[in-house]
A and B are shown apart, each in its own frame.
Chain A
Amino acid sequence: MEAAPRPILVALGSEARALRLIQAGFRMARERSAPWIAVHVETGGAQLSEDGEQVQVWLQEAQRLGAEIRIVQAPTLAQGLSEVTRGTRAQALLLGRSRDRWPWARVGHSTADELQRRGLDTRIEVLDDRKDSVGPDLRGTGFSAMVGTLSVLAACSGVAWLVPREGNISLVLPVYLAAVAFIAHRWGQGLAVLASVLSALLYSFLLETPRFSRAATHWPNLLFFLAMLLAAQAVVGLLRRLRQQAREVQRREVHTASLYLLGRALARSLTPGQVAETAVEHIRRIFKAEACLLFPERSSWRALPPPSLDPGLPPPEDLLPGLDVGERLGDPLEPLAIGRTYCLSLTGTDRSEGVLQILPCESIGLPPDCWELLKAFAVQIALALERLRWLEEARRAQVDSETERMRSTLLGAIGHDLRTPLAAIHGAAGSLLLPGDVSDSTRRDLLTMIQDESERLAHLLGNLLDLTRLESGAIQVQKEWQPLEEVIGSALGRMERRQGHLPVRVDLPEGLPLAPFDAVLIEQVLVNLLTNAQRHAPGREMDLRAWDEPGWVHLEVADRGPGIPAGFRDRIFDKFVRLPEAGEGGVGLGLAICRAIVQAHGGRIHVEERPGGGSSFRLALPLDGTPPPPPEGAL
């Protein structure tokens, strides 16, 4: 037996790049047809609640893509991961690059390296996004930075002191260059310029021979100073560009991830209320702002979730045109500010679905760098609302057409089937009332016709009433445990009392259990099925069988008629559906009643082709509940 493939582990934190890890894990698991597990290690440090929420979001996303979810607690990430990896005998472990601040701390100290050292029998894959990783933040040019700068300079002056100085600048320069570059990288331009000045002075006063000559204007000293300045500028410029790029990349990644999550959550929303809740929740998390959706209702706004964040909003007819123009005078992305709130039009493909109102939590308003994302959010929300509107319209159209179809078939059926017998009765009674002699046999004929036709009318009306009551739930099923034999007997008795002997062969096995059902309703089902069988195969033998299996009892009414075409076998149980060649008699309600009754019992009914010709209607009733105890002394 082939062993099951070892799982793939994906370590998830709260960062936006977790989405990429999830996708990579999902892909790898699919390629290797292996199960995959999303792991989050709680290291016990003080965690921001937002981070916790974000982790939950990622874990849910992973779960949706088929991952198993594990949350473990461990003192360090590496320890937690190695425990899980060992425990699950994972074939591969995917993780993002660790966020250690110091480059030297990364070398040999990253989580990945530590895992390697633990000697795991697992391939460790680090999703490398270092090229867009962000350098450490600029620390302020505060006191500590100044001290830092001075210490670095002092340190490298010490080093430079040790360098053999034969008036040779080339050996000292690199030491100071390195120091200035480092300071530029770490504390920014201001201190870097200061450091270059200081290092030039240090060089001239301390290191240049003869010492303390103050020959600062000596040309090598000037050269030294210029080199320092240029180096600092270059490093700072380079770093700034790099940082900007990195920030941009990260911002995009956060945008993509948050849009993706919003889109997914909106796709699951089934009502405008749910769309509003989802949107508000996501906007609160991403923009730290309160939000609500506004829908125009006559000349005021309806807020979801209520209340509106700024009740002093202009009425829809004034606000909407302004919003729909879209392009604002300044930045086309800038939302319309009204009071303390911002309003964005939720415009889908063809029209405005409503307005998104935002109230930033801080007094500074909405920073411009989030306008773009906010617009994208508004589009997503608008599309979600539009999708719901279209769904609703489609559903309504379907209901309308269904109702219309029902109405026309009902009218057609009633028009024809009620009028025909009525016309016959009316006519027959009229001719009986005519003055003059009517022969006895004619009289009898007319009276028989009146009786037959009124019975037909009564039958049709009864069916219509039964179906209406069944469908409206007005008929309650009174289940009682009883033998099937009895209801078969009463159904056959009811039919034979009306029309004489029926060619029905009944096959009931000995020891058929009692079943819980409503005798009146099941009798109706049997009568309807037998009537149909008789109508489609007049004079031919019909079979009525019953049998049981654990939990169910089955009944079958089979005929040797022309059978039911395969395309009709499901629809035949619908209201007013008649076989095209069925001809007179029946309005297509009998089987609909059968199905309604059987379903009200928790059972099922279907029709199948009978071997050797004809059709076989089969119904199954559940034997639910405990059968009553048999009477004492009974066999």
Chain B
Amino acid sequence: MSHPLILIIEDEEALRRFLIPTLSGQRYQVLSAATATEGMAMARSHNPDLVLLDLGLPDMDGMAVLKEIRSWSRKPVVILSARNQERDKVRALDQGADDYLAKPFGAAELLARIRVALRHTLQAEVAEPVISSGGIRIDLERREVSLEGRIVKLTALEYRLLEALVRRNGKVATHSQLLAEVWGPGGEGNTHYLRIYMAMLRRKLEKDPTRPRHFITEPNVGYRLNLDALRD
């Protein structure tokens, strides 16, 4: 898979005109569709490695397109959404979208998100056993975390939370996804648990918890572990 195939489903021509050359220039193969119907048909016929999906399509709700694609494919879907639509973002992520980009976005941001999403499929569910950088070292096999060479003691819940974020490999995780994974079913309402444990993780693993470099907050959506910072 040297040149992954990316399908763009976006009705605004200006944006397509920006996306197609940007992605082609990065040696991706690019397909584009201007309507939901066309996009779904192309997804079925070409089976792309990644879909860039705009939520505001003229003929159909983007969310329905996402559901349709998810009914037969596990390939990454990155949502393009307008600002201030956190609810839609969360809904899309909980429906199985892999990530989102808020318009307007720059080329660098777009390519970074696409890389993360594609990396995720390549590595499937298995993350590297040892992640180490920025002073933090996480050994998933030995369940050991250290900061600047010193072992950091994490409680069982803190470790599970860290593990859930590491496993997402840089993708955003919504509050409800993390709550379900770490606290199990029934924990969904307790977002503040998640926030408190996140704060404790930051205090143990960030140099300055008010300027987190690794544990990034996506307000009203969820969290993402910035692996690029870890790997630098």
Contacts and interface: CB of A to CB of B under 8 A. Distances in A.
B220 A493 contact: no
Nearest to A451: B106
Given A489-B217, A631-B190, A634-B200, A520 B211 contact: no
Given A518-B220, A631-B197, A485 B209 contact: yes
Contacts of B195: 481-483, 486, 514
Interface string A617-630: 00000000000101
B219 interface: yes
A485 B199 contact: yes
A496 B226 CA distance: 15
B192 A481 contact: yes
Interface string B126-167: 000000000000000000000000000001010000000000
Contact of B211 (A493, A523, A633): A493
Given A520-B84, A634-B196, A635-B200, A489 B220 contact: no
Chain A, interface residues (CB within 8 Å), range: 20 to 34
Interface string B197-223: 111101000001111100011111000
A496 B220 contact: no
Contacts of B200: 634-635
B188 interface: no
B220 A488 contact: no
Interface in A436-476: 451, 454, 458, 462, 466, 469, 475
A451 B198 CA distance: 35
Contacts of A520: 84, 86, 219-220
B218 to A, nearest CB: 8
A486 B206 CA distance: 13
Interface string A597-635: 000000000000000000000000000000010110111
Given A462-B83, A483-B196, A633 B210 contact: no
A628 B217 contact: no
Contact of A478 (B155, B198, B211, B220): B220
Nearest to A544: B210
Interface in B64-88: 83-84, 86
A261 B220 CA distance: 59
A471 B32 CA distance: 38
A466 B217 CA distance: 21
A514 B217 contact: no
Contacts of B208: 506
A65 interface: no
Contacts of B196: 483, 514, 630-631, 634
A489 B192 contact: no
Given A519-B217, A519-B219, A489 B212 contact: yes
Contact of A519 (B157, B193, B216, B220): B220
Contacts of A488: 210
Nearest to B199: A483
Q: Most A CB atoms within 10 A — which of B104, B157, B209, B210?
A: B210
B109 to A, nearest CB: 10
A492 interface: yes
A492 B210 contact: yes
Contact of B191 (A480, A485, A508): A480
B84 A475 contact: yes
Contacts of A91: none
Interface residues of B, number: 28
Nearest to B187: A631
Nearest to B156: A633
Contact of B199 (A478, A486, A490): A486
A153 interface: no
Contacts of B212: 489, 493
Contacts of A492: 210-211
A487 interface: yes
B221 to A, nearest CB: 9
A454 B104 contact: yes
Contact of B219 (A481, A483, A490): A490
B93 to A, nearest CB: 15
Contacts of B191: 480, 482
A475 B83 CA distance: 12
Given A482-B195, A493-B217, A523-B219, A506 B210 contact: yes
Contacts of A458: 104
Contacts of A635: 200
Given A451-B106, A631-B190, A633-B155, A487 B219 contact: yes
Contact of B202 (A469, A489, A496, A518): A489
B174 to A, nearest CB: 13
Nearest to A484: B210
Given A480-B191, A481-B192, A489 B157 contact: no
Nearest to B83: A462
Nearest to B193: A631
Interface string A503-527: 0001010000010001110010000
B127 to A, nearest CB: 23
A514 B210 contact: no
Contacts of A630: 196
Contacts of B216: 490, 493
Contacts of B192: 480-482, 514, 628, 631
Contacts of A475: 84
A454, A481, A493 — which one has the most chain B CB atoms within 10 A of its CB? A493
Contact of A486 (B157, B193, B198): B198
A514 B190 CA distance: 13
Contacts of A489: 202, 209-212, 217
Contacts of B202: 485, 489
A628 B192 CA distance: 8
A519 B104 CA distance: 20
Contacts of B197: 631, 634
Interface string B87-106: 00000000000000000101
Contacts of B86: 478, 520
Contacts of B193: 631, 634
A489 B208 CA distance: 9
A628 B187 CA distance: 13
A225 to B, nearest CB: 109
11 contacts: A486-B217, A489-B210, A489-B217, A493-B212, A506-B208, A506-B210, A518-B220, A519-B220, A520-B84, A523-B219, A634-B196
* Closest 3 A/B residue pairs (Cβ): A519-B219, A490-B217, A631-B193
Given A483-B196, A520-B86, 15 more contacts: A478-B220, A480-B220, A482-B192, A486-B199, A489-B211, A489-B217, A490-B218, A493-B211, A493-B216, A631-B157, A631-B190, A631-B193, A633-B155, A634-B196, A635-B200
